[in-house]
Structure 1
Amino acid sequence: MRERGRAIKAVLFQVHSIAGLVLALLLAVIALTGAVMSFEDEIVDHLNADIMRVASRPAPMLMPDEVVARLKAAEIGQVSAVTLSSDPSAAVRLRFARDEQGARPSSLYVDPYDARVLGTPRGEEFFATVRKLHRWLLIPGDAKGWGRQITGVAALGLIVMLVSGLVLRWPRRASSAKMWLKPNLGLGGRGLHRSLHVVIGTWVLPVYLVMTLTGLWYSFDWYKDGVVWLLSRPQVAPAKMQPKIPTKAPRAAGRAEPAQPIGFDRAWSNFLHDEGGRFSRALLTLPAGAGTVIRIRSWGKDSTLDTTRDEFRVDAVTGQLVSAERYADKTFGEEIIANLLDIHRGAILGWPGKLAFMIAAALMPLFAVTGILLYLSRRRLRRPSQPPLGRLVPGE
């Protein structure tokens, strides 16, 4: 029985070592970019405090279509989304559609009273690039390219390393907290490398498991479908973003009817009528295709997380509510799905959680370096020693 256990551990050791050598650099890049984004919201808000606020005044705020119309006169770009607030001193944020080359212009902050451009948010392009590197490794195609599958495979490999590392480290005296959690800094060389690798690895193992299990949601559709099947109610079906366009008149054969431009005003007016003053801010997004349904994401005044939001879909032509998903109506499993991003980055635990997850992510290069050093030292130990030339005898 003991021999079988040794054989299993030997196999796990080889799997752990090979996976670590193959994925070390990739995991370090993914983890470090994640650490950089940990406090993105706070950093961006601090950098742009001067353009995110305006002086409130008794004049009525402009409707979103009027804001867009005044910007179109300046030929800034095609607006795809507008962020509005119930706070009369908050600026309006405009986001733009991609151009013909696939690039997306930087967003703008605009005065809600006169559509005066306040500026482009500083740090936005930097964090957008870091996010692309974190999620898709800057591989062309973004979410539709191979990058998301590669990061997903890296996450699966990290799970294998975490489980195998825990099994390999499991001692005979598993209750010894000192042995589990205290690194021996008095050692040197290989002993110190191993102590840092296994002890600090034990500290961050729960955090890495949470990161990988939630990160896989963004890499594989089969994983996402499985999580939805497991945690959500069977009768809850995802609402369609693009319903069929109603046919108003028969089209001539071989002639495509031009798409009618749609605006934000009707959907926004109906949202204000239904929600009143219960929201703090709302993001209105135009349909990407030829549909007429506008998506509205709404955050309540007591919301502390970006993922605790309500979501509505409103027909921009008729103003009719197509669907509504309120956070308060979700089951516990559906709340987990809604909060996956904040769980992934530790924000579900507030700023201490974000700090803990950031430190854990920043420690990933430590395991890459110590793992490689341990591998090289094992290679040196296994290498047969060569006797000095003076001690060789004929035939050797």
Structure 2
Amino acid sequence: MSKSSTKAVLLEVHSIAGLALSLLLALVALTGATMSFEDEIQAALNAGMTRVEARAEPKLMPGELIARVQQTFGANKISSLTITGNTTSAVRIRFAPDERRVRPSSVYVDPYDARVIGTPVGEGFFITVRKLHRWLLIPGDAKGYGRPITGIGAIGLILMLLSGLVLRWPRRARSIGAWLKPGFALRGRGLHRSLHAVFGTWVLLIYLVIALTGLWYSFDWYRQGAVWLLSHPSSSTTAKAVRSPEPPEKSGGKFVISSSDLDRVWAAFLEKQTQGFAIAQMTLPTGSSKIVRIRSWPYDGSSGERDEFRVNAATAKIVSSELYAEKGFGDRILARVLDIHRGSILGWPGKLLFMLAALMMPLFVVTGLLLYLSRRRHKQLSRVVRDDPIQIGRRENWANDSKF
């Protein structure tokens, strides 16, 4: 196949993928940009209810805290609580979905007396945006059709990025400067192509990172392959996991966790986490499971730099532990997929850069569509003037106006 034929095929692949997935990619990009600074926005909106007055008496243990909150909210089952390491922060309580599969809003409570302070502002909005971003609001959430659809969109984006890179590759090294400079002085098709190609080159690497990490959340086979490729078999996750047999289940086959069980679990966690923590999230077991999962984040750490412990609530024995400091390079990458996906691995400048790149996606949708329509018009004019010499001059004039 000749070089021109190869580029023609790549152009078709690029155009078809773009036309088929443009709206999907624009929706996913804009919702992702909206969530870029979600933590900072929610912290600002709820600053008044996340702080409490420090007191001389000790904070309530998690079991007692949950028991008191449960008395207030009755049938709403608590699924997790988030505790900070300082004395002036409220505890955030999250509830499990009810029988209609609707999750009640979380609440902030005073860690000293379990007094309900309030419901976080903006939580519902960001939950909806997240469901739209990950599952397109299609019923079933992670088990529905929205998850693989967004994955197909990510694969299509990768195809467009690679085909666009080949189509744009400079013939001479000296042309790299012009390759990265947009032609704002152009007009018509030339301007559209310059904006589409040059800005696309600027964000190509960011889009490629977003797409490759986004596939982690869309396909199990992709996640398993990434774990096989990057995870080291002798890492702390495998080699230093502590295993202990679980006792027989309680009557009825469903384990009912008590306040004293949770307090013993928390004590086991504190004994293991000797370095202290900035944030700890305790997730309660469901069904017949006895395993309480506790994730802890260090001070000045990112969302991926976390330790994770699994504790048997019936015995207060640590079943397994994963310490970030003991992970190898590949396992650290796996632990920070979300940080890489949204750019926060580079701090707030990285998040800002990724957000701006995501906000540019509608530009590529519009300019790509205009270029496609322009090519169709050009082909139609070519058919008209093919056997009409009178029209040749007009055709050449139109082509000259479209150059860049």
Please report the TM-score for the alignment, with normalisation by the length of structure 2: 0.89
Measured in 1, the distance between the counterparts of 2:227 and 2:247 equals: 31
**What is the aligned counterpart of 2:255 among 255, 259, 268?**
259
Which structure: greater helix fraction? 2
The residue aligned with 1:15 is: 13
Measured in 1, the distance between the counterparts of 2:210 and 2:166 equals: 20
| 1:73-92 correspondence runs (5 A) | 73-76=71-74, 77-92=76-91
Tell me if structure 2 keeps the 8 A contact 1:155–1:215.
Answer: yes
Provide the secondary structure at the position in 2 that maps to 1:74.
Answer: helix
The residue aligned with 2:33 is: 35
Tell me if structure 1 keeps the 8 A contact 2:249–2:288.
Answer: no
Provide the secondary structure at the position in 2 that maps to 1:290.
Answer: coil
Closer/same/farther in 2, CA of residues 244 and 319 from structure 1, 3 Å limit = closer
Structure 2: which 5+ runs fail to align?
A: 391-404
Within the alignment, does 1:224 sit opposite 2:220 as a pair? Answer: no
Residues 169-197 of structure 1: per-residue CA shift (max 9 Å, x gap): 11211442322211000111111000000
Give 2:189's aligned amino acid. Answer: R
| 1:117-196 correspondence runs (5 A) | 117-196=116-195
Tell me if structure 1 keeps the 8 A contact 2:277–2:297.
Answer: yes
Measured in 1, the distance between the counterparts of 2:62 and 2:276 equals: 19
Structure 1 position 312, deviation (Å): 0.4
Tell me if structure 2 keeps the 8 A contact 1:243–1:291.
Answer: no
Measured in 2, the distance between the counterparts of 1:175 and 1:217 equals: 38
Structure 1 position 287, deviation (Å): 1.6
| 1:303-382 correspondence runs (5 A) | 303=301, 305-382=302-379
Tell me if structure 2 keeps the 8 A contact 1:262–1:292.
Answer: no
Measured in 2, the distance between the counterparts of 1:219 and 1:147 equals: 9
Residues 248-279 of structure 1: per-residue CA shift (max 9 Å, x gap): 68x7xxxx445333442111112123324521
Measured in 1, the distance between the counterparts of 2:154 and 2:68 equals: 46
Residues 66-99 of structure 1: per-residue CA shift (max 9 Å, x gap): 2222222222521110111220111011010110
The residue aligned with 2:402 is: none
Question: Which runs of 4 or more aligned residues in structure 1 lie more than 6 Å from their structure 2 counterparts after TM superposition?
Answer: 237-240
Tell me if structure 2 keeps the 8 A contact 1:34–1:361.
Answer: yes
The residue aligned with 2:395 is: none
Measured in 2, the distance between the counterparts of 1:120 and 1:75 equals: 13
The residue aligned with 1:394 is: none
Measured in 2, the distance between the counterparts of 1:379 and 1:33 equals: 32
The residue aligned with 2:394 is: none
Moved more, 107-116 or 266-275: 266-275
Give 1:95's aligned amino acid. Answer: R
Please report the TM-score for the alignment, with normalisation by the length of structure 1: 0.91
Measured in 2, the distance between the counterparts of 1:361 and 1:380 equals: 30
Residues 29-68 of structure 1: per-residue CA shift (max 9 Å, x gap): 0000000000001000010010111010102211112222
Give 2:109's aligned amino acid. Answer: V
The residue aligned with 1:269 is: 267
Tell me if structure 1 keeps the 8 A contact 2:81–2:282.
Answer: yes
Provide the secondary structure at the position in 2 that maps to 1:192.
Answer: helix
Q: How many residues are matched?
A: 379
Structure 1 position 243, deviation (Å): 9.0
Provide the secondary structure at the position in 2 that maps to 1:279.
Answer: coil
Closer/same/farther in 2, CA of residues 277 and 326 from structure 1, 3 Å limit = closer
Structure 1: which 5+ runs fail to align?
A: 392-396
Measured in 2, the distance between the counterparts of 1:258 and 1:307 equals: 33
Give 1:261's aligned amino acid. Answer: I
Provide the secondary structure at the position in 2 that maps to 1:312.
Answer: strand
The residue aligned with 2:393 is: none
RMSD: 2.1
Measured in 2, the distance between the counterparts of 1:27 and 1:159 equals: 11
The residue aligned with 1:104 is: 103
